Structure 1
Amino acid sequence: MNKNQKTFLFVLAIIVMVSLFLSIIYTVFTTQVASNKLKVVTSFYPITYLTQQIGGDYIEITQLMPNNGEVHSWEPSISHIMAAEDANIIFYNGADADHWMEENVLPVLSSTNNKNRVIVETTSNLTLITNIGQEHREDQHKHELYDPHTWISPYMAKQQAEKIYNTLIIVDSQHENYYTQKWNKLQQQLEQLDGAYLNGLSNTNKNTIFVSHEAYGYLTNRYGFTQHGAIGLSADQQPSVTSISQLINELKEYQTHILYFDPVYSDKYIQTIKYDLQTKTGQNVTILKLYLMVGPIDDLDYIEQMQTNLINLQTGLEAL
């Protein structure tokens, strides 16, 4: 081996060693950065979305319930509870939506030694719609005291997001400026959406929508229309023959030929209603989507689903 070859191999070895050293340093550094992030656990998608929009680069989120599931009837496993044990902050909806958080997760966590963990019910002290006139199954009555679907309304979602923001700047005050910038952007988006709903639904020919699932009370209350549904607040219920027949009669009475359903769930009985109504009236019936926003779907995120809901509501209510 000549001198040039030895020199080349020596330089190559140095380069390899330096590269390896830098790789190790980078791995340690990135691991340390990741570990310095706030560990946040969220109950389900809309809370995750709002939290991520504010927390951004300084939080690490674990969402317990999978996207596009049935929030009322989902149950956490031991692994979900273990994931929540290491959290610095836990955000959940409340209002009887993710009742499993209060019944199955939080009681276990109360027995652990993490006294610095912060737990936030994002609908606490907000004005909620009381669930009056609904039939309650004995094993679920305490889950149905309120309409839990607050996150569907941009007006209510803004108030929930503000609670998330206020928590983050207290727990992680060194990044307050960052969180504030992110919050201001999200706040503006939600306020603009609220304004769009108020303006876009202020003048309509109709004032009633017909839905598969009566989950839109916070929209009807704020934006001035009513809803009639095949089922009540829990999407895992099945409509009776009587309720379907009653809904068809109401559709005929209101001379409405638009039905709404959320694509996360089966449209089987909505298709049945459509067929029966078309048969009895001879009119074409249109089915439009009205998202519950429990996960990304149709390539739409949370805000985009809100925007699409407004467009479809304007169609069904015949906005002027």
Structure 2
Amino acid sequence: MSKPIMKLKKSLLLNSLVALSLLGGLVNANAAVLTSVRPLGFIAAAIADGVTPTEVLLPDGASPHDYALRPSDLKSMRSADLLVWVGPDLEGFMSKSVAQLPPNRVVEIGALAGVKPLLLAGEDDDEHDIHGANASGDAHHHGQYNMHLWMSPVIAKQAAEAIYGKLLELMPKKKDQLDANLRQFEEGLTKTDIKLGKMLQPVQGKGYFVFHDAYGYFEKHYGLSPLGHFTINPEIQPGAQRLHQIRTQLVEQKAVCVFAEPQFRPAVINAVAQGTTVRMGTLDPLGSGIALTRDSYVNFLSHLTSQYVGCLE
């Protein structure tokens, strides 16, 4: 074989190897932290900042209460470096697929040792009154615990530490960056927590209704005074008895505000509040418009606080 042809073959082989290594780099670059819902993405994005991208499984506007996995979702779950979810009580649609992943690539927030003692009891639904007495006997059971765990700054800190621990195992060379990210997250959360506590103090005694039972951890942490919720599962419309009782409390002016949600704008809230002096607000338990950055979790808590204060003050 002539020298020019051999040179050409070597050159082509070298180019192919370079292309393959670049492609490998791209494949690795696309592997990321994948979270089930957006608020977990806020926490993960802070810890993974500058280390690996963070992506969210559920699209904006979707609810973990009734989501169905698509083939592209399954592909994302399998290719992620790390999957972060609350657990089967909230995202039951993910249970089978998560069980097939290696345990070192999964963080289940609800199963963390430090989180278990902090879990708040859930309720049954749907035809029970505001104080929890079941009226019809055929309640819709919505899990033993309230699993909207990202609403608790205390649990969020533990989630961040768990994500940090798993990423450190997977990417030990990134230790310095991960250390700095965790430190910054915890410092930012402490400062924001104190600030929000002061903002919410003046409205602590004011009664209100929320659309669905998603805010218990936030309310407990900041000493707020909810009178109740319209429904446990936003997919189930509240029954006539529930609505009558809420309406009675609104008329008696025990409530200052009723909160709807951007994912669910039920006409039922307008109907119940009509003709009363009660104000209407919106709370977004999933932080829909908030971009994934290292500050997005504290931005989420701040936004939620502003939504409460704006309606209750």
TM-score by length of 1: 0.76
Question: Which one of 126, 129, 152 corresponds to residue 120 of structure 2?
Answer: 129
Report the CA distance between 1:175 and its aligned residue. Answer: 0.0
Alignment match, 1:18:
none
1:30 positional shift: 5.4
Q: CA deviation at 1:166?
A: 1.7
Q: Is 1:78–2:44 an aligned residue pair?
A: no
| Structure with the larger RCO, 1 or 2 (CA within 8 Å, 6+ apart) | 2
For residue 60 of structure 2, the aligned residue among 54, 64, 67 is: 67
1:295–1:302 Cα contact (<8 Å) kept = no
Deviation of 1:26 after TM superposition, in Å, equals 9.0
1: CA distance, partners of 2:253 / 2:68: 39
Structure 2 Cα separation of the partners of residues 175 and 198 of structure 1: 34
Q: Contact 2:205/2:225 (CA < 8 Å) preserved in 1? A: no
User: Which residue in the other structure is 2:236 paired with?
Assistant: 237
1:266 aligned onto 2:265: yes
TM-aligned CA deviation for residue 139 of structure 1: 10
Identify the match of residue 44 of structure 2 among 24, 33, 51. Answer: 51
1:240-255 to 2 correspondences below 5 Å: 240-255=239-254
Q: Give the residue type in structure 2 aligned to 1:313.
A: Y
Residue 39 of structure 1 and its aligned partner are, at CA, apart by 3.6
Pick closer, same or farther for the CA change 1:52–1:180 going to 2, 3 Å: same
SS at match of 1:201: helix
Identify unmatched segments of 5+ residues in structure 1: 1-22, 278-282
Q: Retained in 2: the 8 A contact 1:211–1:260?
A: yes
Q: Give the direction of change, closer, same or farther, for the CA distance of 1:188–1:66 in structure 2 (3 Å limit).
A: same
Q: CA 1:178/1:29 → structure 2, altered by over 3 Å: closer, same or farther?
A: farther
SS in 2 for 1:189: helix
Identity %: 20
Contact (CA 8 Å) 1:90, 1:119: kept in 2 or not? Answer: yes
Report the Cα distance in structure 1 between the residues aligned to 2:290 and 2:270, rounded to whole angstroms: 20
Contact 2:287 2:300 in 1 (8 A): no
Does 1:314 find its partner at 2:312?
A: no
Q: Secondary structure at the match of 2:110?
A: coil
Deviation at 1:154, TM superposition (A): 2.8
Alpha carbons 1:213, 1:231 under 8 Å: kept: yes
Task: Report 1:111-260 matches (<5 A).
Answer: 115=102, 117-124=104-111, 125=113, 126=115, 127-132=118-123, 134=125, 141=141, 143-204=142-203, 206-260=205-259
Could you say what secondary structure the match of 1:293 adopts? coil
Are the aligned partners of 1:152 and 1:293 in contact in 2 as well (CA < 8 Å)?
Answer: no
Which secondary structure state, in structure 1, belongs to the residue aligned with residue 274 of structure 2?
helix
Distance 1:153 1:97, change over 3 A: same
Question: 1:157/1:28 Cα in 2 relative to 1: closer, same or farther (>3 Å)?
Answer: same
Q: CA, structure 1 residues 298+239, in 2 after alignment: closer, same or farther (shift >3 Å)?
A: farther
Change (3 A) 1:62 1:253: same
Structure with the greater alpha carbon radius of gyration? 1
Q: Equivalent residue of 1:70, what SS?
A: coil
Alpha carbons of 1:69 and 1:40: their partners in 2 closer, same or farther (altered >3 Å)? same
Matches within 5 A, 1:270-309: 270-277=269-276, 283=277, 285-296=278-289, 302-309=297-304
Deviation at 1:259, TM superposition (A): 1.7
**What's the RMSD between the two structures over aligned residues?**
3.4
Amino acid at match of 2:274: Y
Using the TM superposition, give the Cα deviation of residue 190 of structure 1 relative to its aligned residue in structure 2, in angstroms. Answer: 2.1
Q: Distance in 2 between matches of 1:119 and 1:196?
A: 33
How far off its partner does 1:193 sit? 2.5
Distance 2:263 2:103 in 1: 37
CA contact (8 A) 1:39 1:87 kept: yes
Deviation at 1:189, TM superposition (A): 2.5
C-alpha distance in 1 between matches for 2:292 and 2:282: 14
Shift in CA distance, 298/51, structure 1 to aligned 2, threshold 3 Å: closer
Does residue 106 of the first structure (1) align with residue 93 of the second (2)?
Answer: no
Q: In the aligned structure 2, how far is the partner of 1:195 from the partner of 1:31?
A: 47
The separation in 1 between residues aligned to 2:98 and 2:291, in whole angstroms, is 33
Aligned residues: 286
Displacement of 1:24 after TM fit? 9.2
1:210-262: CA deviation from partner (whole Å, max 9, x where unpaired): 11212110022121123234423321111222212211211233443422122
TM-score relative to the length of structure 2? 0.77
Give the SS at the match of 2:273.
helix
